[in-house]
Amino acid sequence: MSPRTHYSNAPITEAILDIRTTSPEGLALERLEEIHSLIQEDYPSKQQRNLARGRWNFGTQVGATATQTPLGYLFLSPDEKQIVQVRMDGFTMSRLAPYESWEQIRDEAHRLWEIYSESIQPRSIERVAVRYINRIDIPLPFGDLTEYLRTIPQVSPDLPQELSGLFMQLTLPQPDIDSEARLSEALIDPVREGVVSIVLDIDLYRIKKLPYHGDAIWEFFEILHDRKNRIFEACITDRTRELIS
Protein backbone atom coordinates (compact mmCIF):
# COMPACT_ATOMS: atom_id res chain seq x y z
CA MET A 1 0.00 0.00 0.00
CA SER A 2 1.52 3.31 -1.03
CA PRO A 3 0.72 6.17 1.33
CA ARG A 4 -1.54 8.87 -0.02
CA THR A 5 -0.08 12.31 0.38
CA HIS A 6 -3.03 14.63 0.14
CA TYR A 7 -6.81 14.66 0.53
CA SER A 8 -8.76 17.71 -0.54
CA ASN A 9 -10.96 17.46 2.55
CA ALA A 10 -8.27 16.19 4.91
CA PRO A 11 -9.61 15.36 8.38
CA ILE A 12 -6.46 16.69 10.11
CA THR A 13 -7.39 19.05 12.92
CA GLU A 14 -3.90 19.37 14.32
CA ALA A 15 -0.39 18.42 13.21
CA ILE A 16 2.54 18.48 15.61
CA LEU A 17 6.30 18.11 15.32
CA ASP A 18 7.93 17.66 18.69
CA ILE A 19 11.58 17.53 19.77
CA ARG A 20 12.43 16.96 23.44
CA THR A 21 15.89 18.02 24.47
CA THR A 22 18.25 18.22 27.40
CA SER A 23 19.08 21.86 27.89
CA PRO A 24 22.51 23.17 28.82
CA GLU A 25 23.21 23.73 32.52
CA GLY A 26 21.87 26.99 33.86
CA LEU A 27 19.72 27.86 30.86
CA ALA A 28 17.93 31.11 31.69
CA LEU A 29 14.35 31.78 30.69
CA GLU A 30 15.47 35.03 29.10
CA ARG A 31 17.37 33.06 26.45
CA LEU A 32 14.10 31.47 25.38
CA GLU A 33 12.34 34.81 25.42
CA GLU A 34 15.02 36.31 23.18
CA ILE A 35 13.99 33.90 20.42
CA HIS A 36 10.76 35.85 20.09
CA SER A 37 12.58 38.90 18.78
CA LEU A 38 13.89 36.76 15.91
CA ILE A 39 10.48 35.46 14.80
CA GLN A 40 8.18 38.20 16.04
CA GLU A 41 7.12 39.20 12.55
CA ASP A 42 5.47 35.82 11.91
CA TYR A 43 4.53 35.04 15.51
CA PRO A 44 3.55 38.32 17.15
CA SER A 45 1.78 36.91 20.24
CA LYS A 46 3.69 35.53 23.18
CA GLN A 47 2.50 33.55 26.20
CA GLN A 48 4.53 32.17 29.05
CA ARG A 49 4.22 28.47 29.84
CA ASN A 50 4.53 27.33 33.42
CA LEU A 51 4.97 23.99 35.07
CA ALA A 52 2.72 23.65 38.11
CA ARG A 53 3.52 21.13 40.80
CA GLY A 54 1.38 20.26 43.81
CA ARG A 55 2.20 18.24 46.89
CA TRP A 56 0.07 16.87 49.70
CA ASN A 57 1.59 16.16 53.08
CA PHE A 58 0.03 13.66 55.45
CA GLY A 59 1.11 13.07 59.02
CA THR A 60 0.49 14.77 62.33
CA GLN A 61 -0.54 17.75 60.23
CA VAL A 62 -2.08 17.70 56.81
CA GLY A 63 -0.91 20.33 54.38
CA ALA A 64 -0.55 21.11 50.71
CA THR A 65 1.99 23.13 48.79
CA ALA A 66 2.03 24.21 45.17
CA THR A 67 4.81 25.69 43.07
CA GLN A 68 4.87 27.16 39.61
CA THR A 69 8.04 27.14 37.52
CA PRO A 70 8.39 28.92 34.19
CA LEU A 71 8.93 26.34 31.49
CA GLY A 72 9.11 28.42 28.34
CA TYR A 73 7.04 30.35 25.85
CA LEU A 74 4.35 29.95 23.23
CA PHE A 75 4.57 32.13 20.14
CA LEU A 76 1.43 32.38 18.02
CA SER A 77 0.88 33.41 14.42
CA PRO A 78 -1.60 36.28 13.80
CA ASP A 79 -4.46 33.84 13.05
CA GLU A 80 -3.34 31.62 16.00
CA LYS A 81 -3.35 28.58 13.73
CA GLN A 82 0.39 28.09 14.01
CA ILE A 83 1.95 27.77 17.45
CA VAL A 84 5.59 27.40 18.36
CA GLN A 85 6.68 26.29 21.81
CA VAL A 86 10.21 26.96 23.01
CA ARG A 87 10.75 25.35 26.37
CA MET A 88 13.48 24.35 28.74
CA ASP A 89 12.82 20.75 27.69
CA GLY A 90 12.34 21.15 23.98
CA PHE A 91 10.71 22.59 20.93
CA THR A 92 7.26 21.94 19.46
CA MET A 93 5.55 23.18 16.34
CA SER A 94 1.77 22.85 16.05
CA ARG A 95 -0.45 23.55 13.09
CA LEU A 96 -4.22 23.74 13.54
CA ALA A 97 -6.79 23.29 10.78
CA PRO A 98 -6.85 24.22 7.98
CA TYR A 99 -3.86 22.02 7.29
CA GLU A 100 -2.00 22.91 4.14
CA SER A 101 0.70 20.32 3.65
CA TRP A 102 3.42 18.34 5.37
CA GLU A 103 6.03 20.31 3.46
CA GLN A 104 4.69 23.58 4.82
CA ILE A 105 4.76 22.57 8.49
CA ARG A 106 8.02 20.64 8.14
CA ASP A 107 9.89 23.51 6.48
CA GLU A 108 8.60 26.01 9.02
CA ALA A 109 9.47 23.73 11.92
CA HIS A 110 12.94 23.20 10.45
CA ARG A 111 13.49 26.94 10.13
CA LEU A 112 12.38 27.59 13.72
CA TRP A 113 14.32 24.62 15.09
CA GLU A 114 17.50 26.07 13.59
CA ILE A 115 16.84 29.32 15.46
CA TYR A 116 16.04 27.45 18.68
CA SER A 117 19.04 25.13 18.58
CA GLU A 118 21.36 27.96 17.61
CA SER A 119 20.17 30.01 20.58
CA ILE A 120 19.85 27.28 23.19
CA GLN A 121 22.52 24.79 22.10
CA PRO A 122 20.70 21.76 23.58
CA ARG A 123 23.01 19.08 24.97
CA SER A 124 21.09 16.19 23.48
CA ILE A 125 17.84 15.12 21.87
CA GLU A 126 15.69 12.81 23.96
CA ARG A 127 12.64 12.23 21.81
CA VAL A 128 11.31 13.15 18.40
CA ALA A 129 7.66 12.79 17.46
CA VAL A 130 5.14 13.45 14.74
CA ARG A 131 1.57 13.60 15.93
CA TYR A 132 -1.52 14.01 13.75
CA ILE A 133 -5.00 14.36 15.18
CA ASN A 134 -7.77 13.56 12.71
CA ARG A 135 -11.49 13.96 13.13
CA ILE A 136 -13.69 11.85 10.91
CA ASP A 137 -17.31 12.95 10.75
CA ILE A 138 -19.33 9.94 9.71
CA PRO A 139 -22.75 10.79 8.29
CA LEU A 140 -25.75 9.14 9.94
CA PRO A 141 -27.19 6.65 9.53
CA PHE A 142 -24.58 3.95 9.10
CA GLY A 143 -24.57 0.30 10.00
CA ASP A 144 -21.24 -0.41 11.56
CA LEU A 145 -18.00 1.39 12.37
CA THR A 146 -16.15 -1.13 10.25
CA GLU A 147 -17.64 0.58 7.21
CA TYR A 148 -15.30 3.50 7.96
CA LEU A 149 -12.54 2.24 10.23
CA ARG A 150 -10.35 -0.84 10.15
CA THR A 151 -8.89 -0.53 13.66
CA ILE A 152 -11.69 -0.59 16.18
CA PRO A 153 -12.47 -2.41 19.42
CA GLN A 154 -14.02 -5.79 18.90
CA VAL A 155 -17.29 -6.41 20.72
CA SER A 156 -18.42 -9.99 21.03
CA PRO A 157 -21.11 -10.82 18.47
CA ASP A 158 -23.11 -12.21 21.39
CA LEU A 159 -23.46 -8.68 22.78
CA PRO A 160 -25.43 -5.69 21.49
CA GLN A 161 -23.23 -3.74 19.08
CA GLU A 162 -24.36 -0.23 19.99
CA LEU A 163 -21.71 2.07 21.48
CA SER A 164 -22.47 5.18 23.50
CA GLY A 165 -18.82 5.85 24.32
CA LEU A 166 -15.47 4.82 22.99
CA PHE A 167 -11.87 5.43 23.96
CA MET A 168 -9.12 3.12 22.80
CA GLN A 169 -5.38 3.58 22.95
CA LEU A 170 -2.89 1.18 21.40
CA THR A 171 0.88 1.31 21.51
CA LEU A 172 2.21 -0.32 18.38
CA PRO A 173 5.95 -1.06 18.21
CA GLN A 174 7.61 -0.08 14.94
CA PRO A 175 10.87 -1.99 15.35
CA ASP A 176 12.18 -1.37 11.84
CA ILE A 177 12.45 2.36 12.63
CA ASP A 178 13.12 1.99 16.39
CA SER A 179 9.90 3.80 17.13
CA GLU A 180 6.45 3.34 18.56
CA ALA A 181 3.07 4.50 17.40
CA ARG A 182 0.50 5.45 19.97
CA LEU A 183 -2.86 5.25 18.29
CA SER A 184 -5.85 6.72 20.09
CA GLU A 185 -9.44 6.56 18.98
CA ALA A 186 -12.38 8.22 20.69
CA LEU A 187 -15.96 9.23 20.15
CA ILE A 188 -16.39 12.94 20.82
CA ASP A 189 -19.39 15.23 20.75
CA PRO A 190 -20.52 15.51 17.12
CA VAL A 191 -19.44 18.75 15.48
CA ARG A 192 -22.79 19.12 13.78
CA GLU A 193 -26.13 17.39 13.55
CA GLY A 194 -26.37 14.25 11.49
CA VAL A 195 -22.83 12.98 12.02
CA VAL A 196 -20.84 10.90 14.46
CA SER A 197 -17.41 12.42 15.16
CA ILE A 198 -14.53 10.06 15.76
CA VAL A 199 -11.00 11.13 16.61
CA LEU A 200 -8.10 9.17 15.18
CA ASP A 201 -4.88 10.34 16.80
CA ILE A 202 -1.58 8.96 15.54
CA ASP A 203 1.48 9.81 17.62
CA LEU A 204 4.71 8.37 16.25
CA TYR A 205 7.81 8.81 18.36
CA ARG A 206 11.31 7.57 18.90
CA ILE A 207 13.15 7.68 22.20
CA LYS A 208 16.18 5.50 21.51
CA LYS A 209 19.00 5.50 18.95
CA LEU A 210 18.07 9.04 18.16
CA PRO A 211 19.57 10.96 15.31
CA TYR A 212 21.75 13.79 16.49
CA HIS A 213 21.91 17.34 15.29
CA GLY A 214 21.75 18.45 11.70
CA ASP A 215 19.86 17.02 8.79
CA ALA A 216 19.62 13.56 10.35
CA ILE A 217 16.68 14.70 12.49
CA TRP A 218 14.83 16.03 9.49
CA GLU A 219 15.50 12.96 7.43
CA PHE A 220 14.04 10.94 10.29
CA PHE A 221 10.98 13.18 10.45
CA GLU A 222 10.33 12.18 6.84
CA ILE A 223 10.38 8.53 7.89
CA LEU A 224 8.00 9.21 10.79
CA HIS A 225 5.65 11.15 8.56
CA ASP A 226 5.64 8.43 5.93
CA ARG A 227 4.89 5.84 8.61
CA LYS A 228 2.13 8.02 10.00
CA ASN A 229 0.54 8.09 6.54
CA ARG A 230 0.77 4.33 6.27
CA ILE A 231 -0.89 3.86 9.66
CA PHE A 232 -3.65 6.31 8.76
CA GLU A 233 -4.29 4.58 5.45
CA ALA A 234 -4.31 1.22 7.18
CA CYS A 235 -6.93 2.44 9.66
CA ILE A 236 -9.49 3.79 7.20
CA THR A 237 -11.68 2.25 4.53
CA ASP A 238 -12.56 3.38 1.02
CA ARG A 239 -15.79 4.89 2.36
CA THR A 240 -13.72 7.17 4.58
CA ARG A 241 -11.51 8.02 1.61
CA GLU A 242 -14.65 9.05 -0.26
CA LEU A 243 -15.61 11.29 2.68
CA ILE A 244 -12.32 13.13 2.79
CA SER A 245 -11.49 13.30 -0.92
Q: Which of 7, 38, 190, 205 binds another protein (CB under 8 A)?
A: 205
Q: Which of 94, 179, 229, 240 binds another protein (CB under 8 A)?
A: 94
Q: With helix as H, strand as E and coil as C, how does the chain read?
A: CCCCCCCCCCCEEEEEEEEEEECCCCCCHHHHHHHHHHHCCCCCEEEEEEEEEEEEECCCCCEEEEEEEEEEEEEECCCCCEEEEEECCEEEEEEECCCCCHHHHHHHHHHHHHHHHHHHCCCEEEEEEEEEEEEEEEECCCCCHHHCECCCCCCCCCCCCCCCCCEEEEEEEEHHHCEEEEEEEEEECCCCCCEEEEEEEEEEEECCCCCCCCHHHHHHHHHHHHHHHHHHHHHECHHHHHHHC
Nearest approach, Cβ of residue 144 and another protein (Å): 19
Q: Helix 29-39 vs helix 102-120: angle between axes, to the nearest 10 degrees?
A: 130
| Piece of 1-9, 14-22, 24-32, 38-46 that binds another protein (CB under 8 A) | 14-22
Q: Which of 35, 83, 88, 125 binds another protein (CB under 8 A)?
A: 83
| Piece of 28-36, 113-121, 186-194, 213-221 that binds another protein (CB under 8 A) | 186-194
Nearest approach, Cβ of residue 199 and another protein (Å): 5
Q: Which residue's CB is nearer to another protein, number 201 or number 233?
A: 201
The verdict on 167 binding another protein (CB under 8 A) reads yes
The verdict on 97 binding another protein (CB under 8 A) reads yes
Q: Which of residues 206-225 bind another protein (CB under 8 A)?
A: 207
Nearest approach, Cβ of residue 182 and another protein (Å): 7
User: Which residues lie near another protein (CB under 8 A)?
Assistant: 13-14, 16, 18, 20, 59-60, 83, 85, 92, 94, 96-97, 126-127, 129, 131, 133, 135, 167, 169-171, 173, 182, 184, 186, 188-189, 197, 199, 201, 203, 205, 207
